[in-house]
Every structure is written in structure tokens, then in C-alpha cells.
Amino acid sequence: MMRTTRIVRGSCHHDCPDTCVWDVTVVDGRAVRLRGNDDHPTTRGQLCPKVNRFLDRVHHPDRLTSPLRRVGAKGGGEYETIGWDEAIEAIAHHLRTLIAGPGPASILQFSFDGTQGVIQKGVLADRFFAAIGAADVRRHLCGVTAWLGAADVSGQPFGIDPEDLVHARHIILWGTNTYLTNRHLWPFIEQARGAGATITVIDPIRTSTAERADEFLQIRPGTDVALVLAMIHVLDRDGLLDAGWIRDHTSGWAELQASAAAMTPSLAAPIVGISAARIEALAHSYVANRPSAIRVLVGPEHHEHGRDIMRAIAILPALTGAWRDVGGGLARSTQIYFDTALGRPADADPARRRFNMARLGEVLTDRSLDPPIEALVVHNSNPAVICPDQNAVMAGLAREDLFTVVIEQFMTDTARHADIVLPTTTQIEHLDLGIAWGHLYLSLNQPAIEPIGDTLPNTEIFRRLATAMGLDQPGLQDSDETLIRQLLDSGHRWLDGITYERLQERTWCRLAVPRGHRPNVDEPTGTADGRLRLGRLAHRAGRETPDGDGRPRHPLVLLSRKQYLGFLNANYGGFDDHLPIEAEPLLQISGVDADDRGLVSGDRVRVFNDRGSLSLVCTHSDDVQPGVVAIPFGWWHRHSSDQRGVNALTNPAVPSDDLGSAAFHDTLVEVEKH
Ligand SMILES: Nc1nc2c(c(=O)[nH]1)N[C@H]1C(S)=C(S)[C@@H](COP(=O)(O)OP(=O)(O)OC[C@H]3O[C@@H](n4cnc5c(=O)[nH]c(N)nc54)[C@H](O)[C@@H]3O)O[C@H]1N2
Ligand SMILES: Nc1nc2c(c(=O)[nH]1)N[C@H]1C(S)=C(S)[C@@H](COP(=O)(O)OP(=O)(O)OC[C@H]3O[C@@H](n4cnc5c(=O)[nH]c(N)nc54)[C@H](O)[C@@H]3O)O[C@H]1N2
Ligand code: SF4
Ligand SMILES: [Mo]
């Protein structure tokens, strides 16, 4: 018999800045090979260690393939298989009852970044929940604080095209672990270095990126504002600022100058944890080597005053005029370009109930809410692992009276607490439109194979739910292709020449943003008066930090970053072949702090604060400075004897306006021998 072989192109859906384009080889309807596309300008034929094995995920024996209904106790993991009609009707019935009783605001949609595909991420789910008037979460755990801080300076926080970093002669990777988290940018960084650029890393941890830097400033966590103020102090004192630029393009210099006047490098040094001489050298090198660029993603936003930190970083190019040079300025998430081009609708209904997703534990366990949350529908997220204050989240998920629906590919720690689990397709089984937050290429992800088992795309699940609920609002039955066409039809100039047909043919297209585009120079700044806002700036210590005065005090700052090539947030923490050799999360502790506590590498320790406790093996590490410990993020609960991950310890505090991320990294703990 003749075998049919074809190559189907698609793009990676993971919440990773790189949005790689892949080629799937399909033989007789089976996907047999998946590899990076050679022509895509950032993929360049390479995926990454986790997604090279994506077909194993698709065909994994643990893959959920049919709808499930809970039969045992909450969290016990006992389920029976049911049909789709029964599952959809059970959910519709439950939601209708709640709408008629306590009201739709007792139903909470919880979704996040499980997929970056715009369609499966939630265009239709959002229409569905808006139609019934359910409560929603503010999806603010990633990047929103960075957005707000940059917007404080420039109104619309457009950054430079990360590809333009090749033109830079000084690149500061500021609290971003590029080599690990944004791999496909690394060759561009190396290209700049090859052309003479200096690479500086500013991070409290000696990351794999820091190891590759020309200069590494290992600062104390949460002290970046003091560092920026001292840099500005030096630049002003030494006459290295461009008065013409400041006069013509900024507002608030007098206030910023006064703020920086007091922060001498020697005052900043003990706050920041690096010498005054190194602060002076950084300031000088930042302006001397042009084009001068700063790269950020999200690390420093995860503090109580993360917005101040991201604003302070954005102030540097605004003040010095680094934006003038192609390759200079701030390179941040490019998602704003796609949001602007596709014109995705902001939910217009201000009356809808909303909670910051960081507060999930509090929201699910607060019976005094009016009305309390009675139903939770989770898709594209694993809150049991990714939300701060995990013990509160788990107490909420364990509520016998909470009706929980989880749409998932695998039996995650969240799905195990569902009343109904709905199995969903993976990226090679459904259609989607891929945006990126690390480059400017839009991609069409074409389904390569039929859905595995009885799985359905998220969109189809919400179409069926809408029918079962008798909803007849427009748009609820739109097909995936229609949803993509609607987005591509925004009329925005950056979509010039990009049509559905063209994407079908080419798979990817660069947004029509001119090469070498200089935000704030080639286009007016997005503030009311068109000026970059400087203004007063002050270093503030978060309440739960060694310099703060808030919660009961423990001596060590806990950082919980992304740490493995084989993990992508919580996606692979449940797969044995993606684990590092040690196969369990380790506590990294400095030699000084370990000696103080009589600990040697390999000792089992208890790490605790007043939110929770974890029993882990510790390892001495020079990567963390004294006063700081680190536990990696993303592990599933079964990897610790406490059935918890690092978020059992982390700080769920969000800003008082409920906007922005949690203060994950403002977490104090103590460590003791077990
Ligand atoms: N301590 C600590 N906590 C953190 C962070 C940290 O650094 N430290 N980082 C934070 C950040 S930056 C982020 S972005 C969040 C990540 O939080 P999440 O977005 O919740 O995490 P992911 O693991 O990326 O994805 C969650 C789930 O989506 C599912 N999924 C994937 N594709 C689909 C699909 O097509 N349909 C459906 N229904 N499901 C799908 C996957 O199976 C996965 O289980 O975590 C945050 N939490
Ligand atoms: N392999 C892999 N890649 C990933 C992910 C993954 O899980 N695994 N997750 C993806 C996601 S969702 C995201 S959002 C990105 C995140 O990408 P990044 O922002 O690059 O990664 P993070 O680990 O969140 O944080 C980066 C660094 O911030 C540092 N940091 C913490 N506090 C401070 C501070 O106060 N000041 C400074 N200067 N630095 C600080 C941490 O030590 C950490 O090294 O990565 C994406 N890529
Ligand atoms: S996870 Fe990131 S680096 Fe890996 S294939 Fe997907 S987009 Fe590329
Ligand atoms: Mo993220």
C-alpha cells in the first residue's frame, strides 16, 4: 500500500517568548517527526529540549482522552469515564442552577497562559463567560506589572524589536535569564557580542545567563530602584546626560534629579549589595557604548514594588535618549505589537466581578464574599502549582461544595480536584493563530493530526456549552477559522498584506513594523503630552524583605525562578523524562547560610514560614548569595513528601489596586535541619 507522507507547519503554543515554528511529518495520519523550521528567522531549525520531545507529550500514556466525572472524595483522583453529551449537560445544568440561585457572579472563570495561541487561549471562552456574566480573573501573574511600569514612563510601552539587539554595543540583561528562558534570542546576543558589544547581567542569582556575561552584578533582590537612582546620580554629576534630549522629549526631570541627588553610589552600595565603583562603572558604560539596550522580561516584577522597579528600568533609556539609536532603548515583551495589530477586544463590561488571579486561594476560601464562589471553570492553567500561597489554593480546591470543571490534557494537581475533567487537544491537533512576545512574527498553526481519543479543542467545548445553556448571543458558534479571520481583519497597518490565505501558504509573516523601528522616536510617545515621563522615584523595601517591616520575620529571601531547560512553567513537572537528574526540587543555599545552620549538601531540611513548610534536600551553591535561597518553580506536588511545591511558601500580595503580579520573590523563610 502507498504511504502518504506530508509536512504540516505549525507553531509552538507554550508560554515562551520564542514562539518557534515547527514542521510536523505526518505519515498515514500519524505524526512521526517534529522539528524546528529552518526558514523561520528566530527558530532557525532548532526547537528546545522540552519541545523536541513534544510528540511524546501528544501520545503520552497519561494523556486524558475522555471526559471524566469524579466518583470518590475531592482530590482523591477517582473518576469514571462519561460521554461528552453527559459531561456538557451536567456542567450546563450546574451553571444554570447557580445563575438562577446566587447569580452568575458565583461562577469564576480561571484561565491563563497554557497556550499562547490566541484562539484556544480564550477568544470564545471569554465570549461565553461574558454572555453568562460570570466572574473572571485578572490574568496578571506574568508581564502586566512590567507593562504597567514601562507604561508609567511611555504611556504605550512599545519596546524595540529584539532582533535589533544585534546592533547594540552594550546590552544589559536586566533580571532576565535569556539563555534559559528566551533561548532563541541568545544567538542575537552573541552576534552583538561578536561585533563588540558588552553583555551585562543584573540578577540576584548567578544564572546560566550570568555565567555567560562579560559583567555580572549580583544585586540584592528588590533593590534595582536604588541601583538606577545611583546610576542617574553618577550620570548627572559627571555631566553625561543630554540636556537637549531631556528638554525636548521628557517631563519631570527636576523631580527625578532631586530623587537621584541623595542616592550617591556609596549610599546605594550596601542597599544593592555591589560596590560603589561597580555602580559608577555601570553608569559610565551604559552611556558610553552606544547603541545601548536593556532587555527585560518578568523576573524583577515579582516583588511588592515590582512596578517601581520596571518603571525605574524604563526611565534609563527615556532619560539618556538611548531610544535614538537603532538597537538602543528597552527591549521588552513584543506582545503589545500583536495586541495593537489584532485589536483584541478588552472586555467592555466594567460591572463584571474580577479578582486578581494571585488571590485565588483567598477568593475560594472566603465564605463572606457576596456571593461566595460556588463554581470554578479552569482552562489553560494549573493554579494548584502556579499560584502563590498554595495551601490556601488547595484548601479552596478541596472544598466539597465547590463545583470545579478543569479542561486539561493531563491529570494535573488542579485537575485532580475537579468534579468534571474535560480532555482537550494539543497544538498539533487544533488550528490556532500564534502571536509572540519575543519577536514580531505571526504564525498559523495548522492541525497535523486528528484529535487523540475523544479530545476536543477548547473552542469546541465552549461552543457546545453555549448550545447546552441555550445562549444565542452572536459569535458563540464561530468556527476557529472565522475567529482567526476576524482578528486578521482589524485593518491595522501592521497587518498590511497578512491574510489567512497568505498565512496558510507561508505559515508565518512578520508584522509590518518597519525594520529598525525606534519607539518614541519614529512614532510619538504614547503619553498625553507626547513626552517620556520621568518624575519622582524612590527605593522602597517590600514589607516581606529583610529591610521591610511587615510580616513575622524570617531571615532568608526565597527566590523561585524558572530553572530547567526541560520545564516550561508547570507543563513538564509531571513527566519523569523531563526532570533533572536529581528528580526532585532542591533548595540552593549559600555556604555561609548553610554553615550557620550546620547544613551540608545532601541534608534534608525543612524550609518554612507562616504560610507553609517544605521538606527538601539542600545543596550548597555559589549561585545564590548569602541571605538568599532558591527553590525551582514548576514541580508537581507529588515530587515532595509534603505534596506541595515552592508556591506553598510564596507571597500572594498584590498591589492595592489589584493590578499586577504577586510578590512571589518578596518571601522570607527559615531553613533548619530536618
Ligand atoms: N513561584 C513562582 N510561581 C510562578 C512563577 C515563578 O516564576 N515562580 N511564574 C509565573 C508565571 S510568569 C506564569 S506565566 C505562570 C504560568 O502559569 P500557567 O499559565 O497556569 O502555567 P503553564 O504550566 O504554562 O500552563 C498550564 C496548563 O495549560 C495546559 N494547556 C496547554 N495547552 C492547552 C490547551 O490548548 N488547552 C487547555 N485547556 N490547556 C492547555 C497545560 O497542560 C498546563 O497544565 O506561573 C506563575 N507562577
Ligand atoms: N526553560 C524555560 N523557559 C521559560 C519558562 C520556563 O518555565 N522554563 N517560562 C516562560 C515564562 S512564562 C516566562 S514569564 C519567562 C520568564 O523569563 P525571565 O523573566 O527571564 O525568567 P524568571 O526566572 O521569571 O526571572 C528572571 C530572573 O529574575 C531574577 N530576579 C528576581 N528578583 C529580581 C530583582 O529584584 N532584580 C533583578 N534584577 N532580578 C531579579 C531571578 O533571579 C531570575 O534569574 O520565561 C519563559 N521561558
Ligand atoms: S517552548 Fe519556546 S523555545 Fe521551546 S519550542 Fe516552544 S517556543 Fe520554542
Ligand atoms: Mo510567565
SS3 content of the chain, % helix, strand, coil (to 5): 35, 20, 45
* Angstrom distances, CA of residue 42 to CA of 22, 159, 230, 505: 12, 18, 36, 19
We find that the CATH architecture of domain 68-141+363-479 is: 3-Layer(aba) Sandwich (3.40)
SS (H, E, C) 553-565: CCCEEEECCCCCC
From the CA of 15, how far away is ligand 4's center (Å)? 6
Given a cut of 90, whether residue 351 has pLDDT beyond it is no
Nearest ligand, CA of residue 570? 1
Nearest ligand, CA of residue 572? 1
The topology (CATH level 3) of 144-332 is Dimethylsulfoxide Reductase; domain 2 (3.40.228)
* Angstrom distances, CA of residue 268 to CA of 278, 280, 515: 11, 11, 39
Would you say the CB of residue 568 lies under 6 angstroms from ligand 3?
Answer: yes
Closest Cα to atom 6 of ligand 3:
12
Q: Probe ligand 2: pick from 177, 200, 206, 305, max atoms within 8 Å of CB? A: 177
Q: Probe ligand 3: pick from 22, 50, 53, 334, max atoms within 8 Å of CB? A: 50
Strand order in the sheet with 21-27: 5-11, 21-27, 30-36
From the CA of 485, how far away is ligand 2's center (Å)? 34
Task: Return the C-alpha cell found at 279.
Answer: 555602580
Domain ranges of the chain: 68-141+363-479, 144-332, 556-673
Note the residue count of the chain: 674
Select from 251, 252, 258 the least CA-distant residue to 236: 258
The answer to whether residues 314 and 308 touch, using CB atoms and an 8 Å cutoff, is: no
The 8-class DSSP code of residue 444 comes to E
Cα distance between residue 449 and residue 452, in whole Å:
8
Nearest ligand, CA of residue 50? 3
Q: What is the DSSP string of 213-245?
A: -SEEE-PPTT-HHHHHHHHHHHHHHTT-S-HHH
Closest Cα to atom 4 of ligand 3:
48
Average pLDDT score over the chain = 97
pLDDT the model gives residue 345: 67
Closest Cα to atom 38 of ligand 2:
175
pLDDT the model gives residue 262: 95
Q: Which amino acid is at 231?
A: M
Q: Probe ligand 1: pick from 51, 64, 141, 356, max atoms within 8 Å of CB? A: 141
Contacts of 481 (CB under 8 A, 6+ apart): 431, 500
Mean pLDDT of 484-503: 97
**Burial grade of 178 (CB within 10 A; 0-12, 13-18, 19 or more):** buried
From the CA of 83, how far away is ligand 4's center (Å)? 34
Q: What confidence tens digit (pLDDT) does each residue in 262-299 have?
A: 999 999 999 999 999 999 999 999 999 999 999 999 99
Residue 463 phi, psi dihedral angles, 5° rounding: -65, -45
The answer to whether residues 127 and 475 touch, using CB atoms and an 8 Å cutoff, is: yes
Cα distance between residue 75 and residue 397, in whole Å:
8
Mean pLDDT of 359-379: 98
The answer to whether residues 632 and 564 touch, using CB atoms and an 8 Å cutoff, is: yes
Q: Place 349 in a pLDDT band, splitting at 50, 70 and 90.
A: confident
Cα distance between residue 169 and residue 603, in whole Å:
45
The CB-side HSE value for 24 (13 A sphere, CA atoms) comes to 26
Look up the CATH number of domain 556-673: 2.40.40.20
Contacts of 76 (CB under 8 A, 6+ apart): 416
The answer to whether residues 214 and 192 touch, using CB atoms and an 8 Å cutoff, is: no
Given a cut of 80, whether residue 534 has pLDDT beyond it is yes
Select from 326, 240, 222 the least CA-distant residue to 286: 240
pLDDT the model gives residue 201: 99
Given a cut of 80, whether residue 599 has pLDDT beyond it is yes
Given a cut of 80, whether residue 421 has pLDDT beyond it is yes
**Could you tell me what percent of the chain has a pLDDT over 70?**
99
